Structure 1
């Protein structure tokens, strides 16, 4: 397993974070929610497989993570060559996590793992930007995903960029691991996962 993991990591290391190469200062990610049981909690990288991590709520209990764990340090990678459509909504870039191994360190970008039978997507860190999601932090340091196409009308229309904050805390299952994780709901509907609780995600520099 160690050989396979090292091979995987180094195969993608050269391409990781290639376009967005301006790294921010380190920060934690905090949960903001009307649910007082999770408001103020932080996010931590949780093992989901070979060089794959999800975003667990640091103080949650689950079958895979029974104890509270420290908040993880993240970075935000942007680029001087990529246009920012709306400064108040935030510059586009990759949310990144530094995976440390016995003989390697590699910066991983967050992407969304989509289950075609669910409207709840799981944010995961992979050692390649092939599946990376472009995200932003607005002027209040809240994490969002932007788009300029609106398909809630017929025909769909395009125009100004809008920021979406469809983050939830949900009990999720992936590759044998059950955690309480940050999740993203696809579209305007409510999450079909009954455990999901609405949250926002705030950047707090350390």
Structure 2
């Protein structure tokens, strides 16, 4: 796969920013568990083409098709970007290893945010794994508790809002990993799941 120099520079810039993390764990495969539709349990997170240097976290039933991810975080904090790497042919003897951090894309018409793996992404999703290896997003405010004129105090909220949904990714239509911001998903194809990490040897 070949990309323009500008695309590669964006990817390398993101790599530099993410390299500031003290710790990189992995590689891990990501597996669907605890699905409300049991037929989804055991699916592996894969990467499906959605554009130039852009992929969607889709699924494979075959462990051989699973993608591997790394988790960057600081020594004092457990939350940080989840990254997929891939090799880019830049015309030299050795391919360049470029990161695609996981992020979420939001649109105003729905409460379902689509997962995205994109080179040059400077706003990755900060995630962590709990003691059981399940993936969560940590937030520090719950606006359902806000009161008029009273500044809220931060807390710590570990959120497990993962969904498997049929979603548009550019001109492609995939069953992919998504996130519901709150309440029931607007998209009727969505199924609530958990995502757990698995070492490649398992």
Tell me which interval the TM-score lies in, with the shorter structure as reference length: 0.7 to 0.9
Q: What's the counterpart of residue 24 of structure 1?
A: 25
Which residues of 2 match residues 178-193 of structure 1 at below 5 A? 178-187=173-182, 189-193=183-187
Counterparts of 2:123 and 2:24, CA distance in 1: 19
Q: What's the counterpart of residue 54 of structure 1?
A: 56
- Is the 1:112–1:121 contact (alpha carbons within 8 Å) kept by the matching residues of 2? yes
Following superposition, the deviation at residue 118 of structure 1 comes to 1.1
- Is the 2:37–2:191 contact (alpha carbons within 8 Å) kept by the matching residues of 1? yes
The size of the alignment, in residue pairs, is 189
- Is the 1:111–1:125 contact (alpha carbons within 8 Å) kept by the matching residues of 2? yes
Q: What's the counterpart of residue 168 of structure 1?
A: 163
- Is the 2:100–2:118 contact (alpha carbons within 8 Å) kept by the matching residues of 1? yes
Q: What's the counterpart of residue 143 of structure 2?
A: 151
Over the residues paired in the alignment, what is the CA RMSD in angstroms?
A: 2.1
C-alpha spacing 1:197/1:166, structure 2 compared with 1 (3 Å): same
Counterparts of 1:70 and 1:14, CA distance in 2: 28
Q: What's the counterpart of residue 11 of structure 2?
A: 12
Following superposition, the deviation at residue 141 of structure 1 comes to 0.7
Counterparts of 1:200 and 1:115, CA distance in 2: 23
The structure carrying a bigger helix percent of its residues is: 2
TM-score, normalised by the number of residues in structure 2? 0.85
Query: Which runs of 5 or more structure 1 residues have no equivalent in the other structure?
Result: 60-66, 85-90
- Is the 1:51–1:99 contact (alpha carbons within 8 Å) kept by the matching residues of 2? no
Following superposition, the deviation at residue 129 of structure 1 comes to 4.2
- Is the 2:47–2:67 contact (alpha carbons within 8 Å) kept by the matching residues of 1? yes
Q: What's the counterpart of residue 37 of structure 1?
A: 39
Following superposition, the deviation at residue 153 of structure 1 comes to 2.3
Q: What's the counterpart of residue 77 of structure 1?
A: 72
Counterparts of 2:169 and 2:121, CA distance in 1: 20
TM-score, normalised by the number of residues in structure 1? 0.84
Q: What's the counterpart of residue 193 of structure 2?
A: 199
